[in-house]
Structure 1
Amino acid sequence: MTLIELCEERGVKVYVATHGRAYDPADPRDRRSLLEDALDSEHESAKISARTLRGLDANVRDGKPHGICPFGYDREYEIRQGKRVPVRLRKTGNRTVKASWPSLVSEELFHDVQAIISEPSRRTTTRGPQVHEFTRAMTCDVCDGPVSVSYKRNRESYVCKTRSCVRISKEAVDELMTGLTVAYLARPDVYADQAPPAELAQLKLTLGALDGVRADLKELEEAEPKTLAEARVIARTIDRLEREAAELEVAAVELSRPNRLASLFSPEGNVMSRWLRTPVPVQRAIVALLFTPGVLGQPRIKRGKFGPADLAACERMEFRRDTD
């Protein structure tokens, strides 16, 4: 409509090759023809889209393959009504569905890996080598902005990256943060936090409940309501079951989450010397695990009492916990 109105205002005619003639948007009959063709095209596009989405949803429910075959996989076909039809491969956005082919790994291992690669703090790209182990852990207490390293007058400082609200000696902060990190890593009880049998049993129950909810969803989605009231009840039930499935998926991931700290750092020998020899990317991963509200607290840099950098690091650093 906008295009047709603009053409009318500017005296532009539209030539339709398949009709073999030019249309004048200022002419009522020509205008109606253009609008009818536009409406027909939009309607046909909507019908194609609806049919395609129905097919995609059906494939998702049945765990059937669709789309480009990922690297490392071979697509299998079978002949149906004289046509080659793919029967194995299944991927659908951020959703995980039960596939119709044998799995490559166990469901527990899948959730373990997903928990690692979907970690919000995990960075998949970098502009260069990582050289500072604590920068991503700290936050400006004034504006909640990130903290970066600044080199000024041959002195290293941690500075608020957003508004330069705070500045503090990097050497003093590193000494404080390193002491807290090493003290925590040296505790034997930290590494005893493996999944106990009770959690493994709960994981199996959770996965079983998830399979049951998914089966109920599939049955309801395939149902054909006879009345409008029945359709509304089914729609509400599907909405509730989808929420339950999402909650169970989150619970399963949490129950199957491995003790990542044990895989990153072993407390054997001199902990301080081992920490100093640990590569910076690994140090940063450990720091991301420890300096959270649920463990050692989220580090926040406060302004100095009389200026931006006049107090000691221990007085200007706040480690905010869940109980704060």
Structure 2
Amino acid sequence: MPQLWIYARKSSYQGKKRGRGRSVAEQLDAGHMFAEDEGLSIGDTYVDDDRSASAFRTKGREEFERLIGDIEAGRIERGDTVWAYQSSRLQRDLRVYVQLRDVCREAGVLWHYNGRTYDLSKREDRRSSAYDAISAEDQADELSEGVRRALRANARRGRPHAWGLYGYKRLYDSATGELDQVLPDPEQAPIVEEIFQALKAHRSLASIVDGLNARGVPSPKGKTWGATQIRQMAVNPSYIGVRMHNGQEAGRAMWPPLVDEATFYAVKAILGDPARRTNEGNAVKHLLTGTSTCFRCEGPLWAHPHHSGYRQYWCESGRHVSVKADPVDDHVTGLLVRRLARKDAARLFAVKPRETDRTKKLMADVARWKAELAEAPRLVKAGKLSAVGLAGLEGALLPEIEKAERQLGAARVNPLLAQLIRPTPEEVFAVWSGLELRQQRTVVRAAFDVIEVSSPGQGRRNVDPAEYVRTEFTSASTARRRAAVAEA
């Protein structure tokens, strides 16, 4: 006796026709009623809920594939009927229609939808069902085009996409239900600002994550924070009030910025710094690793454990230098602390122009341009930017950066150096001791032009590091440049 095999499907997205479509439960009820009226037994039911059938689908239809497999395997036999509420429930893609049509035609399986049964061995039924399939695909295309138009229009108007952005809350018109305003969330917005300021101060992603989780601050998903979430947030232009669409800036957003542009582009440059990415590995756990050099070959010194239990810096390229690390670290730290406590430290490291709307704009422009230049080598490596394009970008931006910095007329303040400048060495050291290793290394790179280490001599012990460690503090011009890079 022929059997009825019921297929039901419903997409989650209904657009402005929400509620007009038949739910899966309603489709199944209609299928069971048809079976009862026709005196057919039900072989099986196949349900794909929250699944699209168009060519734009992003999820597979597992139950539809099972239906095809049962027809090909002969479980659904000749003379049986596959029932669906409408043609569009089965498919909205002509390629899928042809696949299903050919399988059913070969197996002698009938279709039933829209109150009519189709025998795919008949030319007239194949033609009629093909017209229905074309109509279903065209409806899917029309819906997709409408969605894309709506998204583009929302983007141009600065209106948000479907999901909410962490740090903001939405207010809706009580009469129409339409979105009225997007405002900073009083609980989440301060967290966003805190994250950007921490990154600007060169704090590590891990320390920010640990701090938020220790305080029990819910993440955007209501769970614990992770480094990936922090990084994605930090490079999202939405936080400076820019509406993005398909990865491109679409204009100003309807919501206010939570972060100023100078801070945003400074953080983007910091996160894109190849040195920072290298330092995130397990190798860099020492103050002067990679920043101090060998007196002979000028190669970087690296820290390694000695078999006696202490740390040592040595030159891996030629083994010209092998010295205990702690005395060198202490010597360089002492020099830095005393230098930052001198009266002229402010002139060297912390000269900052009076901030006006114009200087803020220049600072933001410089930060953005430097972030673009920092990103360019990665794009070249990925094949997204040619070497000629890189040269053109540098030729266009470097003169603009130089011009803007001349107009600013002073060095940018490295925020780490600024907070370290204190009247006495004791006060400087107290602040220094509270910094993370990553932050201390950033200060060392900004403050010194040269940290060159030689050998204290064979068999000599307890030698003053001043005898074999040569340092040069950064010059005023270099300080301005490095401090600008560190902030931007």
The TM-score, its normalising length taken from structure 1, stands at 0.49
Higher relative contact order (CA 8 A, sep 6+): 1
Larger Rg: 2
The TM-score, its normalising length taken from structure 2, stands at 0.35
